[in-house]
Structure 1
């Protein structure tokens, strides 16, 4: 066994093997994979191995497409058979919401370039004559998808990696993982390997491996059944493999396994986790006793849907543990708080995700960038999470695998976790909450005359008119919103200005109390994060970023402080609340509650002051995301309720109203303000159209390559107005809709919504450069209907910023 390596990969399942092979493809063959037992002896060996093209987000769809394309040629490259079967797949819809969810997937497939179409019950019956189509409204047919042999696929990656010079060491448990001055020291049963990078790809053992280095991995091992029947005479007689069926009523999948049937069930209730106190280190190819009481109802529905399976014997039952995270996304990227330690785990669909995960992580390790946006997989999206929350949400995630997923859906297991002092008050006022980095944040407020329930969907539902009233309050009077989920940092020290100036694209504020909006880029010129910086003193700055940046941005800043710099960064996110006061009457409302002069001359746009409001000290920042005159009031949590109640009482005659994130989305769409959906780390600032925040008279991280298009794309952001719909007049874009020009797919929508003030359906999309020109007419596929969209040259509302600067 080698004693040095560039990368040590811990874990010999599909994720570890794929990464080892992809590292070699990127030119790094001086790598070692260490496995405590035999290869594939964890969750990989008992996986069913499906890969679907019926997927609801672009990155995951790209992963699945890549997996199918790669597996098709992997045997030729490595000499190891993977037994890829591609009978196609059908995902069934019984309800209007399920039909909408299927329609929403078509644009993604069209953009990536794989066949996907909506079919009716008669088409389904022709594609799969064994399926009972009773109550079926429609299905998505995805040609060319199927399943692969898990062990064969893993061994193919291993064979290819070994041929390229990588080493694989079996029966060699990792005992310690210790940081060194230039990397890591991995102590194993067979010796020590010193390396630059460590990757925890240990699957169900990933949390225990991480604990060797002092941190936790938020995943749980949830038990999943699949059953294999005796041979099916009808399958044998037909001689054509049945498509892979996915059905929410079955709570799982049904497919053909050679001449038999295979039924996999993700029960909607009662899911169980294994090894709550840790996986035994000597466990190998572990399985668990079947529980027919748990899956019986869903099994009966499977037999109703495929009657030719009903009278057959069950030849084999497999019940094994599969890793699940709290939010359906794997953990792929840097571990928080440690350098050159990477996670590649938490995958509930390993054979579909493993190839793409290996490719993107290899690119990240070797080149410092990925080609796809994998921000939603970044392990640093956590930091606040507890083991109890992880378990509850992972079980919930499993139970939601085969349910209809809709925009705005909420999952309520183990909530609330993080709340501002206004939570109870806003709950009393009938707020519907969503979650942002664990924080409960008001989404919309239910009027007294409506049932108190959320109503998610692809169309405008019961929230639409109440949200209109919320936006009108902000545009015409004054609104209050709790935005305490913002990430908030204080940067201090003699070198704080030098450090920040090196990190951000814009010029730092030159005087105390002034503010600047800026971007932090990667070394390859892509967007890492967006920040607002307020100078409190020459050596003291207040930095704000989005909710998801609390751990990730802090980790990024900490790792870029140079050894000779005297800089201290303090996370204030759990100490300070943020109350937004926005609207034409916001100045009048604040003037009633403070001795400070709030006039435009005394309190300028993009400035901040430490003042008293309602008798409590606040950091008032004249900035906002609504496009209206307004302030953000940053206040110690202990004073936040006093501040809110005082403002509410003082503004009664002004028509003060609460508003939530749905209203905020409408307001920001009218002003063409960008969010994390547009500011992703596969995009450069020029592509996102934020050139005005790039200084050409200074150097900053990423500045040497800021004019070069990122690897893999040359998109431009387009801001569009959609024409009214004939088939779905109550539908707007949510993200993922395909964009077409002259019948050719040219991009995807990132986000959208309805602008109540301007009466327009609006959307952002990344498209090819020529299609982003103002005035260009495009087609956007919204719930199966191609709607004309016109690229706008300026914000739909107040392009001169008269409201902001009033």
Structure 2
């Protein structure tokens, strides 16, 4: 038996990248075990594409780090080329919505420092003279993109890792994994290894290794084909003339990519009806094998590519690669802690393994070393999926993601596969009232309410078909009274003698007195916001915490880890409790008709009481995320529907309505309220987020050399509503980024929360939305009821 600091299971580009970066971080006794040889599985047969195109700054940075590593760093360290070709890349389209998407990504990239160029058809012809322009509206150019030899890059990282002390054991399959009192025991064909940390970087085998660990890994192998042509005369002629390599070209509407390979081409199609392979366990003998070609499945895509680039048809088919790549339910990798397992990590599930592998290894190495990710991790954290992501879900979503590999990413997109996994106690009532549902951490929740059965939200970057319906929902909450299903909140109970002491160290905020409500922000080691909880103190020994639906597993892990040494018990009561929002100036009258409790001076703003409403025991919180008089009513799940119907009946004389997530987002922005996961992340401290008033000790927050500052902006953008990831400009230069935005119906203003670079420019700001720049001004106070008169009424 040997001892190690960490055992990494899997020798593809992801696992080897982690070994490389852990050594760079100063780790010793790093052991990587691989069942076959390095790169076996999916790395070796990857097309090696590398891009900077992404909708998330975190995903974009993973990809950009990979490019720098393969192109510059590894060749300098090893003296050997990794086969990186800086060919550049472009995407072309005939779809107006796609042009909006390109403009949005180009705007984000101006902020992140990876400028992309939106293309006209004439510019497309200049960059790729073999492409036809029929029907094209334009495209986008990624000048620093290219392709790499996956095997050369992986082997280069392996050499550097081994030179730094890492051990790589090839042809050593893992047979059993168990958790011990001091760490992890990994039994392999060549003996047992004990280690404090365990990392599942098994890629194609990620689900199986996860099962050994005792964690759900929602990934599925899907077969992807690409064909390699023979010599293409047009390409060979360019080579003979000494012309630059052709840029990679993608046509997302036709669902293919094309890149030069010496004097030929590689064409990769993504069919809509993906072929899942071995979802319940990859054959033990599988290694560097491929499936037989099946070009009939993609013939129509090949024909479309030949129509766009006729030269493709002049090279014939030299070979076909048909092998498995892994897909998660949202096509993003799984990078971060394994839920409920101390010192266990996932680094798997990447359908873009080579493209993201270099950066992914660096990302996880930083997290393991410093206790927090280097950037906001929500897009990659494995705990964004829970136990509800079962076999059917992971297969349905993998097929959908593969088929929409080049799908347009709309700002309010709701994809249809894998729905209905978690239903709130009010789900059937919401449907009856016209709710158009969205998905949040597996839950179905109302986004908006329609008067027309079967309505769906139209996908668009512009003002959507739900705009007027949401206006009506906001008006009901502003002028009368409205109900909302808030049951998707993650909910926890903390009980025990040390409840107050535990909450005191959990975050940077004051712990509310018994009977009161407050916010607590749990911080990362560097002072970023790791979690946000609303805390209702029922007594000195009992508290109820609520947080974002998507944070359920993350917050569960955080609470239990930080409870060490305190005499408390933590219970996740998310499934057991339903929550109804009762909001609006008539909410007191509605609630008063159903309870004998004092709802006046005996129930002030930001207080909590346990009362009975319509015969139902309710934990009532006088708090509002939308800026109106109101209550959150927490009730047993099996009685929440009866409570809702009683409230609705009592509210009919007052014109009661319902509101959904879109209305709530609009109204919270009018109050300047921050949202976890968008405005609040580990990248920014509470001080930078403008939450200093909630902190008990501002001096305890780590200070940044160049702190950011969050501001609420009013944007003069007409009927183009802001959403997220828009760059803020001053004199044409990027100075900030929008984290969330919407139209404010009560104020008739377009509002956006944004982080601005120091020194803060307070005049002459612009926000770039879909390629256009609009004037913006910083609002010194929230535009709606800044003194909270309505909530305190």
Q: Distance in 1 between matches of 2:362 and 2:778?
A: 34
Q: Is the 8 A contact 1:720 1:791 kept in 2?
A: yes
Q: Is the 8 A contact 2:93 2:253 kept in 1?
A: no
Q: Distance in 2 between matches of 1:235 and 1:714?
A: 50
Q: 1:707 aligns with which of 688, 702, 707?
A: 702
Q: Counterparts of 1:339-354 in structure 2 under 5 Å?
A: 339-354=342-357
Q: 2:534 aligns with which of 532, 547, 550?
A: 532
Q: Is the 8 A contact 1:54 1:140 kept in 2?
A: no
The answer on 1:356 being equivalent to 2:359 is: yes
Q: Is the 8 A contact 1:748 1:767 kept in 2?
A: yes
Q: Is the 8 A contact 1:84 1:147 kept in 2?
A: yes
Q: Counterparts of 1:169-180 in structure 2 under 5 Å?
A: 169-180=169-180
Partner of 1:699: none
Q: Is the 8 A contact 1:608 1:622 kept in 2?
A: yes
Please list the CA deviations of residues 42-87 of structure 1 after superposition, one character each: whole Å capped at 9, or x if unmatched.
Answer: 1101111111222222111122222222222121212332111111
Please list the CA deviations of residues 320-342 of structure 1 after superposition, one character each: whole Å capped at 9, or x if unmatched.
Answer: 11111112221100100011111
Deviation at 1:128, TM superposition (A): 0.8
The answer on 1:719 being equivalent to 2:720 is: no
Q: Distance in 1 between matches of 2:716 and 2:485?
A: 33
Q: Distance in 2 between matches of 1:286 and 1:790?
A: 59
Please list the CA deviations of residues 514-554 of structure 1 after superposition, one character each: whole Å capped at 9, or x if unmatched.
Answer: 11111111233221111111122221111111101211111
Q: 1:798 aligns with which of 781, 785, 792?
A: 785
Please list the CA deviations of residues 770-794 of structure 1 after superposition, one character each: whole Å capped at 9, or x if unmatched.
Answer: 22x6x44322111101112112221
Deviation at 1:185, TM superposition (A): 2.2
Q: Counterparts of 1:17-36 in structure 2 under 5 Å?
A: 17-36=16-35
Q: Note the residue ranges of structure 2 that are not aligned, 5 or more in a row.
A: none
SS of structure 2 residue aligned to 1:246:
strand
Partner of 2:304: 301
Which stretch of structure 1 is more off in the superposition, 220-229 or 424-433? 424-433
SS of structure 1 residue aligned to 2:259:
strand
Q: Is the 8 A contact 1:304 1:310 kept in 2?
A: no
SS of structure 2 residue aligned to 1:412:
coil
Q: Distance in 2 between matches of 1:362 and 1:302?
A: 40
Partner of 1:201: 201
Q: 1:336 aligns with which of 330, 336, 339?
A: 339
Partner of 1:633: 633
The answer on 1:575 being equivalent to 2:576 is: yes
Deviation at 1:730, TM superposition (A): 2.4
Partner of 2:770: 783
Q: 2:320 aligns with which of 313, 317, 322?
A: 317
Please list the CA deviations of residues 330-372 of structure 1 after superposition, one character each: whole Å capped at 9, or x if unmatched.
Answer: 1100100011111000101011211111111111111112221
Deviation at 1:705, TM superposition (A): 5.6
Deviation at 1:445, TM superposition (A): 1.2
The answer on 1:440 being equivalent to 2:425 is: no
Partner of 1:516: 518
Partner of 1:146: 146
Q: Is the 8 A contact 2:36 2:173 kept in 1?
A: yes
SS of structure 1 residue aligned to 2:230:
strand
Q: Distance in 2 between matches of 1:310 and 1:717?
A: 54
Please list the CA deviations of residues 120-174 of structure 1 after superposition, one character each: whole Å capped at 9, or x if unmatched.
Answer: 1111112111112211111001112111111011111111111222121111112
SS of structure 2 residue aligned to 1:196:
strand
Q: Counterparts of 1:582-731 in structure 2 under 5 Å?
A: 582-599=583-600, 601-676=601-676, 677-696=678-697, 706-709=701-704, 714-724=707-717, 729-731=718-720
Which stretch of structure 1 is more off in the superposition, 91-100 or 659-668? 91-100
TM-score of the superposed pair, with normalisation by structure 1: 0.95
Partner of 1:59: 58
Partner of 1:470: 473
Please list the CA deviations of residues 150-208 of structure 1 after superposition, one character each: whole Å capped at 9, or x if unmatched.
Answer: 10111111111112221211111122222233322222222222222111111011121
Q: Is the 8 A contact 1:107 1:739 kept in 2?
A: no
The answer on 1:255 being equivalent to 2:259 is: yes
SS of structure 2 residue aligned to 1:416:
coil
Q: 2:275 aligns with which of 253, 268, 272?
A: 272
Deviation at 1:446, TM superposition (A): 1.7
Deviation at 1:93, TM superposition (A): 2.2
SS of structure 1 residue aligned to 2:401:
helix
Q: Distance in 1 between matches of 2:605 and 2:684?
A: 29
Q: Distance in 2 between matches of 1:453 and 1:242?
A: 42
Partner of 1:80: 80
Q: Is the 8 A contact 1:733 1:753 kept in 2?
A: yes
Q: Is the 8 A contact 1:12 1:202 kept in 2?
A: yes
- Flag the 1:382–1:451 CA change in 2: closer, same or farther, 3 A: closer
Q: Is the 8 A contact 1:487 1:545 kept in 2?
A: yes
Q: Distance in 2 between matches of 1:496 and 1:638?
A: 28
Deviation at 1:34, TM superposition (A): 1.1
Q: Is the 8 A contact 1:249 1:301 kept in 2?
A: no
Q: Distance in 2 between matches of 1:682 and 1:740?
A: 21
SS of structure 2 residue aligned to 1:212:
helix
What is the alpha-carbon root mean square deviation over aligned residues? 1.7
Q: Is the 8 A contact 2:526 2:702 kept in 1?
A: no
The answer on 1:385 being equivalent to 2:389 is: yes
Q: 1:752 aligns with which of 741, 752, 762?
A: 741
Q: Counterparts of 1:275-294 in structure 2 under 5 Å?
A: 275-294=278-297
Q: 1:561 aligns with which of 560, 563, 569?
A: 563
Q: Is the 8 A contact 1:29 1:161 kept in 2?
A: no
Q: Distance in 2 between matches of 1:389 and 1:603?
A: 44
Deviation at 1:689, TM superposition (A): 1.2
Please list the CA deviations of residues 406-450 of structure 1 after superposition, one character each: whole Å capped at 9, or x if unmatched.
Answer: 1111111121111112212221222111111111010011223x9
Deviation at 1:456, TM superposition (A): 2.3
Q: Distance in 2 between matches of 1:798 and 1:520?
A: 28
Q: Is the 8 A contact 2:624 2:632 kept in 1?
A: yes
SS of structure 2 residue aligned to 1:376:
coil
Q: Is the 8 A contact 1:524 1:705 kept in 2?
A: no
Partner of 1:46: 45
Partner of 1:184: 184
SS of structure 2 residue aligned to 1:391:
helix
The answer on 1:409 being equivalent to 2:400 is: no
Q: Is the 8 A contact 1:686 1:707 kept in 2?
A: no
Q: Counterparts of 1:735-750 in structure 2 under 5 Å?
A: 735-750=724-739
Deviation at 1:704, TM superposition (A): 8.2
Q: Is the 8 A contact 1:174 1:187 kept in 2?
A: yes
Q: Distance in 1 between matches of 2:269 and 2:635?
A: 49
**Count of equivalent residues:** 786
SS of structure 2 residue aligned to 1:37:
coil
SS of structure 2 residue aligned to 1:375:
coil
Q: Distance in 1 between matches of 2:630 and 2:758?
A: 35
Partner of 1:700: none
Partner of 1:547: 549
The answer on 1:487 being equivalent to 2:490 is: yes
